[in-house]
Copies of this chain bind each other. A is one copy, B any other.
């Protein structure tokens, strides 16, 4: 290992740097036309909205853009990068452009409802969220955080306390939307398979109900667990009540 080795180390360092530096801080390598980071992300979003995240593949995007598969790698380093960029794009939709209500509860509620809307509009966002990657610290992700902290300014909290309150609310929103999407897709699945879906699950549930093990939830089982899910604002208000009780 001499001079050449040192060059190799340099290369490896560059690779490591690339793997750790957020995508948004990297330049979009290209100069030629027809292809661009923006076009790639836009196409990916279109496909994901239409057919789900699983349908988003490098080959597919290239085809739709009239480019060759490997050309996309001039603009993104990996599919994970593309996912980061998609996440960032969606995070932008969560931002509230007009002024926030002065009342902190109304402001947080507005932000939470917007988050939910966006999540339902792009159900694949949930899959993306769990895809690891420092996706939350993109510019738009931070703008969301900024907006949320600003919404709480009336409470005059320490930054860390404000952040914790926001995290708790965001956690609830994420969990709720996740369940909402899940229920929605199950319903759609059952619908696609005809009503027989219900008819096949119901005896199974009835059997469990008759087993005597599930006394507390027998009424729920009898309704086929068709409960339309919780009430979003109700749960949110519970959380906000608790925050208000502590800090308000």
A residues lining the B interface (CB < 8 Å): 13, 16-17, 19-22, 24-25, 126-127, 129-130, 132-134, 136-137, 139, 142-143, 145-146, 149-150, 153, 159-160, 163-165, 167-168, 170-176, 178-179, 182, 185-186, 189-190, 193-194, 196-197, 200-201, 204-205, 208, 213-217, 219-221, 225, 227, 229-231, 234-235, 237-243, 245-246
Report whether A178 and B129 are in contact in the complex, using a CB–CB cutoff of 8 Å.
yes
A9 to B168, CA, bound (A): 51
Which chain B residues lie closer than 8 Å to A235 at the CB level? 164, 167-168, 171-172, 239
Report whether A234 and B164 are in contact in the complex, using a CB–CB cutoff of 8 Å.
yes
Copies of the protein in its oligomer: 2
A90 to chain B: closest CB distance in Å? 15
Report whether B163 and A220 are in contact in the complex, using a CB–CB cutoff of 8 Å.
yes
Report whether B204 and A21 are in contact in the complex, using a CB–CB cutoff of 8 Å.
yes
Which chain B residues lie closer than 8 Å to A176 at the CB level? 167-168, 171, 175
Given contacts A204-B25, A208-B139, contact A16 B242 (CB under 8 A): no
A246 to B189, CA, bound (A): 36
- Give which listed residue, B21, B22, B227, contacts A160 with CB less than 8 A: B227
Q: Most B CB atoms within 10 A — which of A127, A172, A189, A227? A: A172
Which chain B residues lie closer than 8 Å to A221 at the CB level? 142
A144 to chain B: closest CB distance in Å? 10
Given contacts A19-B193, A172-B172, contact A159 B219 (CB under 8 A): yes
